[in-house]
């Protein structure tokens, strides 16, 4: 156990010695503090602890709910959507990219791999050290955000802590691929570039699925959403007229053609989903954390007697949220992502243990 802990400590020291570690932690604190600096009163939203104000009417019933929704939206769209999902992860990937290629260089390998710990232990210690780095970074950020929620809207919103495992899992998905590349090529730059490429492809497929689904839904609402004039006329008279029948025939042909198009869209969506199943599900994982935060936040306010109390009881709000989040279940997203990471790390670990150094 002692050798493993020694390796962990050394990994932590190594990261702490990197300038980018402190830059990342510093930026996290700055972004979280900016969020903390946003405040509300009945007439305006203030930024930078009141240094700048924007007029906004928050009077009337449901004020607290509206304020909370606005605050959550700022968090989910800007802070989580921009910082946590992209910039923080990119910085973490860059910070940790050199860990494995460096460990396999002749000098450090002579120090690490010729002693009591097995190569697998070294591999696991390096991996744990990297995850610990991200944990510190996100943990610190989320704690400040947690305090911000309490201070600004008076809610202890524990759901914000879902972002810690969510970001860790998203990081692990990408990092596992990066580790595999790093171990195989021993090139930091190659591993960063190819990981970003895979992330881009994954996000692109995700985006393409959303577009296709939106197209399909639009097509469906056009086809079945409104009754046609001919259908209305026929139903009014009670018996089909010749003209009505001709119109109906045209409509049926038209529906058949459109169904062909729909089938194509569905087939494309299915193909994209199959391809996407091999990639990590970063967007759905982050969307799940977001959903949890929004639901808990709004329902907490609704519990106080606000306007959405009925919605809460009927589950309509949750249904509405579900429509906004991806179709795949969270278990599918987490499960397939974990499998992806496990497979990547297993191959990387095997190479790490077998390679001549």
Site for other proteins, rule CB under 8 A: 2-3, 5-7, 9-10, 13-14, 16-17, 105-118, 354, 356-357
As measured in angstroms, the least distance from the Cβ of 105 to other proteins is 7
Question: What's the rounded Cα separation, in Å, for the pair 226 and 246?
Answer: 19
Residue 7 near residue 122 (C-beta atoms within 8 A) = yes
Instruction: Give burial (CB, 10 Å; 0-12/13-18/19+) of 11.
Output: buried
In a 3-state reduction of DSSP, which class is residue 38? coil
Nearer to other proteins, 120 or 324 (CB): 120
Query: Side-chain half-sphere of 199: how many Cα atoms within 13 Å?
Result: 22
As measured in angstroms, the least distance from the Cβ of 18 to other proteins is 9
Nearer to other proteins, 13 or 246 (CB): 13
Nearer to other proteins, 22 or 151 (CB): 22
Using alpha carbons, select from 161, 159, 162, 139 the residue that is nearest to residue 301. Answer: 159
Q: Quick one: three-class SS letters along 166-178?
A: HHHHHHHHHHHHH
Q: Which two tokens stand for residue 202?
A: 């994954």
As measured in angstroms, the least distance from the Cβ of 119 to other proteins is 8
With b meaning 16 or more CB within 10 Å and e meaning fewer, what string describes 47-86?
Answer: eeeeeeeeeeebeeebebbbbbbbbbeebbeebbeebbbe
As measured in angstroms, the least distance from the Cβ of 176 to other proteins is 24
Q: Residue 328 carries which DSSP code?
A: S
- Specify whether the backbone of 118 is left (phi greater than 0), alpha (psi in -120 to 50) or beta: beta
Nearer to other proteins, 110 or 335 (CB): 110
Question: What's the rounded Cα separation, in Å, for the pair 328 and 288?
Answer: 10
As measured in angstroms, the least distance from the Cβ of 98 to other proteins is 12
As measured in angstroms, the least distance from the Cβ of 109 to other proteins is 6
**Cα 17 versus chain centre, distance:** 29
As measured in angstroms, the least distance from the Cβ of 111 to other proteins is 6
Residue 147 near residue 35 (C-beta atoms within 8 A) = no
Nearer to other proteins, 4 or 47 (CB): 4
Question: What's the rounded Cα separation, in Å, for the pair 131 and 157?
Answer: 25
- Specify whether the backbone of 49 is left (phi greater than 0), alpha (psi in -120 to 50) or beta: left
As measured in angstroms, the least distance from the Cβ of 184 to other proteins is 14
Which helix H or strand E contains 19, and what residues bound it?
helix 19-36
Nearer to other proteins, 260 or 356 (CB): 356
As measured in angstroms, the least distance from the Cβ of 114 to other proteins is 4
């Amino acid at each position: 156990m002692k050798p493993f802990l020694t390796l962990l400590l050394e990994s932590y020291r190594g990261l702490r010695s990197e300038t980018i570690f402190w830059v990342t932690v510093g930026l996290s604190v700055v972004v979280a503090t900016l969020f903390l600096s946003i405040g509300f009163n009945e007439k305006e939203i203030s930024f930078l602890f009141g240094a700048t104000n924007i007029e906004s009417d928050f009077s009337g019933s449901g004020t607290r709910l509206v304020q909370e929704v606005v605050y959550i939206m700022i968090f989910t769209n800007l802070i989580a959507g921009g910082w946590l999902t992209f910039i923080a992860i990119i910085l973490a990937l860059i910070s940790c990219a050199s860990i494995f290629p460096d460990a396999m260089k002749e000098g450090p390998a002579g120090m690490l791999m010729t002693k009591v710990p097995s190569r697998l232990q070294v591999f696991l210690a390096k991996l744990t050290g990297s995850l610990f780095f991200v944990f510190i970074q996100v943990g610190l950020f989320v704690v400040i955000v947690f305090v911000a929620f309490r201070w600004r809207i008076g809610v202890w919103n524990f759901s914000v802590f879902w972002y810690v495992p969510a970001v860790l899992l998203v990081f692990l998905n990408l990092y596992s691929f990066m580790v595999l590349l790093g171990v195989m090529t021993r090139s930091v730059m190659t591993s960063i570039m190819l990981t970003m490429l895979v992330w881009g492809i994954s996000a692109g497929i995700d985006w393409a699925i959303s577009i296709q689904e939106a197209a399909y839904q639009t097509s469906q609402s056009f086809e079945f959403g409104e009754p046609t004039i001919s259908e209305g006329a026929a139903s009014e008279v009670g018996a089909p007229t010749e003209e009505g029948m001709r119109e109906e025939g045209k409509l049926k042909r038209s529906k058949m053609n459109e169904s062909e198009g729909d089938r194509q869209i569905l087939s494309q969506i299915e193909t994209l989903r199959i391809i996407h199943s091999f990639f990590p599900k970063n967007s759905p994982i982050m969307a799940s954390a977001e959903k949890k935060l929004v639901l808990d936040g709004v329902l907490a306010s609704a519990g106080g007697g606000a306007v959405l109390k009925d919605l809460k009881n009927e589950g309509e709000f949750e249904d509405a949220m579900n429509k906004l989040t991806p179709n795949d279940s969270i278990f599918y997203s987490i499960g397939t992502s974990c499998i992806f990471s496990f497979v990547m790390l297993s191959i990387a670990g095997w190479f790490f243990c077998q390679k001549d150094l």
